[in-house]
A and B are shown apart, each in its own frame.
Chain A
Amino acid sequence: MKRYIIAGLLGVSVLSSCVKNPNLTEEAYLSKPDAAKSWAQGLRRQLALTMNGIVVNVEIASDNYFNNYTQYSKVFDVPQMDYTDVDVNNIQLLVQRLRAAAEYGMNTILPGDASATATDRALIIFSRAYAHILSGELFVALPASTNGVALTPQEHYAKALEFLDEALAVETDAVKKTAYTVLKARVYYNLGDAANAEKFALEAAASKDMLFNVAFDGQNAVSNEMQTAVFTSLPNRLAPLPRLDFLDPKYSDNGVPATEQRPVAIVKAEEARLILAEVQVSASRLAEARTTLKNLLSEVVNARPYTLLDDSRETRNGGNRNDYPLVAVQVKFDAADSLRSNYVINRKGGTMRSYTVSATRVTAAEIDAAATQDALLYLVYRLRQEIFFAEGRRMTDLGIKMPVSQTEQLNNRNITDAHIKPQIPAFIPVNRGMDDFTYDKTAGVVTITYDMNKVMVQNKSAKEIFPFIN
């Protein structure tokens, strides 16, 4: 019997010693070569995930899209942004993950991996800069370290500039250098520094087709969520404001979404000209501004590609509002506006154009006709809205910023009461007013309740918007 007992005990100890841990420990990861390559790729993935979280929510929170389904935020349309809101927390997580992973890349991975390429180095540094830009643009304040002090948007922008310069110094690719330069112009725009914004916008303006995209990978569970929301899912979850109907869907597929995930632009050549035009408008250099804007249309926007898409299965049948027009109707931007055509597409009328990068219905004639600063400012922001449509930019233009989340506040003593209040300008209509419209089916006319670009210009001294003016 003793023999059996001893054998049994031995058996048990042998069995217990061979636990197979299939996970990769940090120690094991760092000890193997080429860590930077996979870490940089991880940041590309994180950029995609971060943009996924931002784009859908920012589009809902603005006048661009209405959440017509039960998934996604049910309150950003109001707009309501509580510090307790799960999406407010998720977006912070996504931005902070980008920052923390980039920081780890710079501080831990790059010093230990001599084989890191310049491209990967620059990508890691750029990611950190971009996380700071997002932090500044989207939040009233946000820490930049674990349980750290909440930095103001200005402090984030300062850090962004520091890392953009560092990335520019490392980067070898000319297109990316241009992209980083436009981002510098954007940061100065955000800071209200017209001189520097103009300087870097001009520096980048030579490029007419620069496009810096974030790519997705549907086969590895990183689908473009905006594509899912506006095209892939049945029923489509998000419905565009009818005056922007012609821009939807920006992202689509030909039936196999897993392999056809469209990228989202985070920087493109258009932005340099838009910043330049806004500098000019704000400084009352109206003629220059008109030229800049017309060049923007002729040299950049009109040269952007589009695909022909059969969108006949679009029903706008998400469930919350059933009166979205599906045939070509006329649109009034608000009750005082005159009737406009070509804004709402007849989805059943064969193929339509799907603008994958940029498009606008603003014409050169409208630009020429804009005689005042206000009229031009209105057009600049309409152009920004249409050109950056479905790219997660509009909320920032509207001056809306999210608060620091409750999860952060409960764990981080540096978060004060001021940090947990959102920034929603007084001129923003509540109760889903930004997405509201009436549809007179008999007359075939949709009247949008608020023309938000007009509302902004009417409130142009509001401190939350128009950084070159305020």
Chain B
Amino acid sequence: MMLVMKQVFAGRTTRWGWCLLLLLGLQVQAHAQDAAVTGSVISEKGDFLQGVNVQARKAGSAAVIASVVTDEKGLFMIKQLAAGTKYDFTFSSVGYENNFYRNYLVKPAAQKNSLLIKLKEKNNQLDEVVVTGQGIGISKRRIATNVTSIKGTELEQLPSGRLDQLLQSKLPNAQIRLTGGQAGATSIIRARGVTSAFVNSTPIIYIDGVRLDNLNTVAALGGGSAQGSAISSIADIPMDNIETIEYINGGAATTLYGSDAANGVIQIITKKGSGGKTAVTAEVQLGAERSTNDFLHFKRTADLLFQNGLFQKYHVAVNGGKDKSGFSFSMNYMNSSGVQIYDQNNNRKIDFSSGYRAALTDKLTYENSFTYVNNKYKRNRNGNQGGYTGLWFAESGSSSITGPRFNPNLDSLSDADFAKMKDYVNEAERLQDNQITVNRFTTSQVFKYTPIKKMVIKATGGIDYRVMRDMMVQTNQYLTHTTGTYTNNRGNISNSERKYMGLTFELNGQYSWNINDFSFVSTIGGQFFRNEDNQVAYSGTNVRDGSRLVSDAAVRTANDYYLEVVNYGIYVLQNIGYKNRFFLDLGLRGDGNPAFGKNIGVQYYPKAGMSWVFSSEPWMEGIHNVVSSARLRASYGLAGNLPMAWANQRTIKLDGFGGEQTAYFGQPGNNDLGPEKTQTAEGGIDLSFLKDRITFSAGYYRAVTNRALFSVPPTPSSGEMQNQQFNVGKILNRGWEFHTTVVPVKTNDVTLSANLSVNTLYNTVLSSGGVAPFNLNGFSARTLQTVVQQGYSVGFLRGNYGTFDANGVLSSTVAQSYLGTTIPDLFGSMGLNFRYRNLSLFANADYQKGAVASDWDSQFRFNYGAGTEGIPQGEIDKNKRANWLSFTNMFVHKTDFIKVRTIGVTWGLKKLSAIPGIQNMVIGFTVSNPFNFAASPFDPEATISGSAQGQGGATTGGISYATYSAPRQFVGSVRVNF
């Protein structure tokens, strides 16, 4: 277990010792009787390890007499140790096996006391301490569910602009798909299927215990286009000062989060600095961006709409601190010109993050983090926004009806005709003026109080304040150009603003104690959050070109929207261990919420689970060389999703009409409205072989969402105006989850490792409670929608199914037919890492199989005569294009894909003492989105996000329509540590 490099410099000189002396110039400081022990902690690769906890005990004693953390150069110093006394030192860090140095005899101050310690990276991380879903930290072996942890260092090399993109292929049992390539596009993040037909499957996101705005679809007022791209809040989550990210994917793991976490939880833990000298890191990332043309129908579309872009990012970070305190500061500037002509997708982001920790007294520690993000991006028209849209014009054949009207088959145009088209498109793209600005401030404040040994009380409070402004200007010039009809009085400006203010408070306490072979960890806590969502939209029409003020408009309108979610919950958790190998994990949370109907009281979420680390059983000892660790786990737990705030009340809607106050039916109301509850039973096995060279994890889960919230459209005869939420549905998700990591080569110089995850998924609506089918996405019920209906998967494609006779002529059409599921039944990710000394290569990819999507662009191309699109000639000869909507099944394709997300190389230069001030340098080069292999002729990810269920509503994608693919990036980077 123990990997020891215990060279003591005073005694003999070794290669390591000299290196250490040269590199670090360690000194021993001493007082009259006291001596100090210094040292350095490095990884097997030779990287200095920051943040390693070093504890000193008198040899043989359990009492910790000093505890420090290594700085960014892996250095630590423990002062005031008694010379001539033997001490035991323990070194621990997340993701590494603990190391020990026992019985070290501290030499007098005049002599050197230096240690060089190497920590071995863990593959099997059963002893890793996790926080998310557990109230206060607990080791993974004690809990009955999986928690995925990703270290910040794993994410540093990826030039991604947003958190979810960064995590693509990184979460073994979750799938993350960006629905479009424009900044701010909705992402579809799902782990254990689609548990809700109402709430988007995006997990709840926390940063240092503070709940963040995670709205991932279009907002109620503005905030993107319903059928185009949304303005996702995830695009501006701060992500440059990350220590670790923890992810739990629902079920019992999320029970602690109660009514709000059926889709899982992502928690970002930020850096808080380390003890030791101040270190400065500077990084430059520079690169090129290219449009992804793999899925374009016409070769010339790229010529028409895309440019080559430039990506640049500058990062400066300062880390430091003293024994009892640490600080971290990071500053970033990112600018991506985007690949759409006239920089219409330019994205510029500036952010600052800081973290601080301090021991205020022996018993009280304080940690905080502050982040500020300013994100600005442009957006050109996409999806189903009506009027001119670049991709609709070029790829859907609507060039045949737009402007001067063109032959819609771009590739068959003469050069002269194409030049005319290009002039037209240039102007249409140039004149677009859509700008999104987000300012976001987030802070977390944590106090930890240790009144007595083994008891911790933790109080967390924080704020996430996000202000988004979306401005769309349509000038008369633009309208005249794109509609082909002169206008001088229709120029318009539409602004929308959304202010989100989230407050989180959590107070919990944990007490650990042992009785004989039994160990207990008891946790009790309460959590409260309150989110205010304030939106205004104001617009002006008949604005003279050149003005960007609504107040300059001849006609002005305004609208507002307000939502407030308040949730309070209390939980108790009891973890019982037997001989550190068998554990029971029990918990209960109770939630109250003003959105619940008056017939609904406090809602309870129980969980129970067991974890049996049978590799620690005596009968396994003989085969430890083969089976390094093994455990069985099983659990049962509930997690929920909240209904919309105030959705329980019957209301009257007020409006203006003809200058008078106007009243009509508002929300029908539901006194029985409660949260939907997903009840998950799962079991699994985690195995590690050959000293962690092979790890394998397998699990099965069955999750049933009872009382699923369906937003039920009114029955016409009721005369009601609005949909009403009812707890009437029942949704099943079940599947297998496999994950393995194999390290076939591992020497001092070379490491090769590969990982693969495989997940199966079966999703179906077990019951819709007698409610008529309703849609999540798409157009009207007679054309194409993704629909929720009993007996089918959530969000399946529904449209007209046409059959053709022997002559290829349409013979019949069945309306509202099942055209396939939009949810894959198989998905996962894979990765490869290779290291030769300081040179590392990495690649990762993800895949899916078993879903379909509709190629609406192709259907339009058929309609506009831009292609025959596989429709039989007999039909075209007889009916021309008149039946274009009657055989939507002909445009549905499988969306199986493997996408390579990143390929990168880094080269670490460590011995740079020749350059003053520079400790080390890492040079890297990364390619994002280099290869796509897909069964569909369109980008299987790029689908209109849809929002038929309103703000934050469920979506499964499924319709490919005038949506941009994520661009390719080729980014080189240089990171220097001073």
What residues make up the interface of A, taking CB atoms closer than 8 Å to B?
A: 1, 4-5, 8-9, 11-12, 15-16, 19-26, 29, 35, 37-39, 41-46, 48, 71, 73-75, 82, 84-87, 89, 92-93, 95-101, 103-104, 142-148, 215, 217-222, 234-235, 255-259, 313, 315, 317-319, 322, 405-408, 410-412, 431-432
Q: Which of chain B's residues have a CB closer than 8 A to the CB of A20? A: 562, 564
Please judge, given known A-B contacts A15-B530, A23-B651, A41-B663, whether A407 and B716 are in contact too, CB under 8 Å.
Answer: yes
- Within the complex, what minimum Cβ distance (angstroms) separates A437 from chain B? 15
CA distance A4 to B562 in the complex (A): 32
What residues make up the interface of B, taking CB atoms closer than 8 Å to A?
A: 386, 398, 400-401, 405, 449, 451, 457, 459, 479, 483-490, 503, 505, 507, 526, 528, 530, 541-542, 554-555, 557, 562, 564, 566, 568, 594, 645-646, 649-658, 660-667, 669, 713-721, 770-773, 780-783, 815-816, 864, 882, 885
Contact A147 B781 (CB under 8 A): no
Contact A97 B721 (CB under 8 A): yes
CA distance A74 to B885 in the complex (A): 8
Q: Which of chain A's residues have a CB closer than 8 A to the CB of B386? A: 71
Contact B649 A23 (CB under 8 A): yes
Q: Which of chain B's residues have a CB closer than 8 A to the CB of A92? A: 716-717
Contact A89 B716 (CB under 8 A): yes
Please judge, given known A-B contacts A74-B885, A317-B401, whether A42 and B716 are in contact too, CB under 8 Å.
Answer: no
Contact B815 A100 (CB under 8 A): no
CA distance A95 to B714 in the complex (A): 13
Contact A143 B542 (CB under 8 A): no
Please judge, given known A-B contacts A84-B782, A222-B657, A256-B541, whether A101 and B568 are in contact too, CB under 8 Å.
Answer: no
Contact B783 A258 (CB under 8 A): no
Q: Which of chain A's residues have a CB closer than 8 A to the CB of B451? A: 1
Can you give 25 contacting A-B residue pairs, CB < 8 Å? A1-B451, A1-B457, A15-B528, A16-B568, A26-B652, A29-B663, A37-B661, A38-B654, A38-B661, A41-B663, A42-B657, A45-B664, A84-B816, A87-B780, A87-B782, A89-B781, A101-B664, A101-B719, A146-B719, A219-B555, A219-B557, A220-B557, A256-B541, A318-B401, A411-B771
Q: Which of chain B's residues have a CB closer than 8 A to the CB of A407? A: 713, 715-716, 772
- Residue ID in chain A nearest B492 by CB atoms: A258
Contact A12 B528 (CB under 8 A): yes
Contact B507 A41 (CB under 8 A): no
Contact B718 A96 (CB under 8 A): yes
Name the contact of A5 in the complex, choosing from B483, B489, B507 (C-beta under 8 A). Answer: B507
- Residue ID in chain A nearest B489 by CB atoms: A255
CA distance A431 to B882 in the complex (A): 9
Name the contact of A38 in the complex, choosing from B490, B528, B663 (C-beta under 8 A). Answer: B663
Contact B720 A100 (CB under 8 A): yes
Contact B564 A19 (CB under 8 A): yes
CA distance A136 to B12 in the complex (A): 104
Contact A256 B489 (CB under 8 A): yes
Contact A8 B662 (CB under 8 A): no
Contact B568 A12 (CB under 8 A): yes
Name the contact of A259 in the complex, choosing from B555, B714, B718 (C-beta under 8 A). Answer: B555
Most buried by B among A22, A41, A99, A142: A41
CA distance A98 to B719 in the complex (A): 7
Contact A24 B479 (CB under 8 A): no
Contact B486 A313 (CB under 8 A): yes
Q: Which of chain B's residues have a CB closer than 8 A to the CB of A143? A: 716-717
Contact B651 A24 (CB under 8 A): yes
- Within the complex, what minimum Cβ distance (angstroms) separates B292 from chain A? 27
CA distance A393 to B398 in the complex (A): 33
Q: Which of chain A's residues have a CB closer than 8 A to the CB of B507? A: 5, 8-9
Q: Which of chain B's residues have a CB closer than 8 A to the CB of A87? A: 780, 782
CA distance A35 to B664 in the complex (A): 11
Please judge, given known A-B contacts A16-B568, A319-B401, A412-B715, whether A45 and B655 are in contact too, CB under 8 Å.
Answer: yes
Question: Lowest 8 CB-CB distances: which A-B pairs, in order?
Answer: A100-B719, A319-B401, A255-B489, A92-B716, A234-B483, A42-B664, A410-B772, A143-B717
Most buried by A among B487, B503, B662: B662
- Residue ID in chain A nearest B488 by CB atoms: A255
- Residue ID in chain B nearest A92 by CB atoms: B716
- Within the complex, what minimum Cβ distance (angstroms) separates B746 from chain A? 49
CA distance A49 to B650 in the complex (A): 22
- Within the complex, what minimum Cβ distance (angstroms) separates A232 from chain B? 9
Q: Which of chain A's residues have a CB closer than 8 A to the CB of B816? A: 84
Q: Which of chain A's residues have a CB closer than 8 A to the CB of B665? A: 97, 100-101, 104
Contact B663 A408 (CB under 8 A): no
CA distance A405 to B721 in the complex (A): 16
- Residue ID in chain B nearest A36 by CB atoms: B663
Q: Which of chain A's residues have a CB closer than 8 A to the CB of B484? A: 235, 315, 317
Please judge, given known A-B contacts A256-B489, A256-B555, A405-B716, whether A21 and B663 are in contact too, CB under 8 Å.
Answer: no
Contact A147 B717 (CB under 8 A): yes
Name the contact of A97 in the complex, choosing from B400, B568, B663, B719 (C-beta under 8 A). Answer: B719
- Residue ID in chain B nearest A15 by CB atoms: B530
Contact B459 A8 (CB under 8 A): yes
CA distance A71 to B386 in the complex (A): 9
Q: Which of chain A's residues have a CB closer than 8 A to the CB of B646? A: 21, 23
Contact A234 B715 (CB under 8 A): no
CA distance A144 to B869 in the complex (A): 47
- Within the complex, what minimum Cβ distance (angstroms) separates A25 from chain B? 6
Please judge, given known A-B contacts A15-B528, A45-B655, A45-B657, whether A412 and B717 are in contact too, CB under 8 Å.
Answer: yes
CA distance A215 to B657 in the complex (A): 9
- Within the complex, what minimum Cβ distance (angstroms) separates A422 from chain B? 13
- Within the complex, what minimum Cβ distance (angstroms) separates B525 from chain A? 12
Contact B657 A85 (CB under 8 A): no
Contact A74 B662 (CB under 8 A): no
CA distance A97 to B666 in the complex (A): 11
CA distance A26 to B483 in the complex (A): 45
- Within the complex, what minimum Cβ distance (angstroms) separates A404 from chain B? 8
- Residue ID in chain B nearest A24 by CB atoms: B652
Name the contact of B663 in the complex, choosing from A19, A42, A147 (C-beta under 8 A). Answer: A42
Contact B718 A146 (CB under 8 A): yes
Most buried by B among A25, A92, A148: A25
Contact B716 A41 (CB under 8 A): no
Q: Which of chain B's residues have a CB closer than 8 A to the CB of A431? A: 882
Contact A41 B719 (CB under 8 A): no
- Within the complex, what minimum Cβ distance (angstroms) separates B148 from chain A? 31
Please judge, given known A-B contacts A38-B660, A406-B772, whether A319 and B882 are in contact too, CB under 8 Å.
Answer: no
Please judge, given known A-B contacts A85-B781, A147-B718, A256-B554, whether A16 and B566 are in contact too, CB under 8 Å.
Answer: yes
CA distance A73 to B483 in the complex (A): 22
Please judge, given known A-B contacts A1-B457, A8-B459, A85-B782, whether A96 and B719 are in contact too, CB under 8 Å.
Answer: yes
Most buried by A among B486, B654, B664: B664
- Residue ID in chain A nearest B384 by CB atoms: A70
Name the contact of A93 in the complex, choosing from B401, B594, B716 (C-beta under 8 A). Answer: B716
Contact A234 B542 (CB under 8 A): no
CA distance A206 to B412 in the complex (A): 67
Contact B652 A29 (CB under 8 A): yes
- Within the complex, what minimum Cβ distance (angstroms) separates A243 from chain B? 22
Contact B663 A74 (CB under 8 A): no
- Residue ID in chain B nearest A48 by CB atoms: B657
Name the contact of A86 in the complex, choosing from B530, B770, B780 (C-beta under 8 A). Answer: B780
Q: Which of chain A's residues have a CB closer than 8 A to the CB of B649? A: 21, 23, 25
Q: Which of chain B's residues have a CB closer than 8 A to the CB of A103? A: 719
Contact B664 A220 (CB under 8 A): no
Q: Which of chain B's residues have a CB closer than 8 A to the CB of A215? A: 658
CA distance A329 to B594 in the complex (A): 67
- Within the complex, what minimum Cβ distance (angstroms) separates B948 from chain A? 12
Contact A38 B717 (CB under 8 A): no
- Residue ID in chain A nearest B592 by CB atoms: A16
- Within the complex, what minimum Cβ distance (angstroms) separates B716 from chain A? 4
Contact B651 A26 (CB under 8 A): yes
- Within the complex, what minimum Cβ distance (angstroms) separates B348 from chain A? 33
Name the contact of A41 in the complex, choosing from B459, B486, B661, B720 (C-beta under 8 A). Answer: B661
- Within the complex, what minimum Cβ distance (angstroms) separates A40 from chain B? 9
- Residue ID in chain A nearest B659 by CB atoms: A217
Contact A258 B555 (CB under 8 A): yes
- Within the complex, what minimum Cβ distance (angstroms) separates B848 from chain A? 31
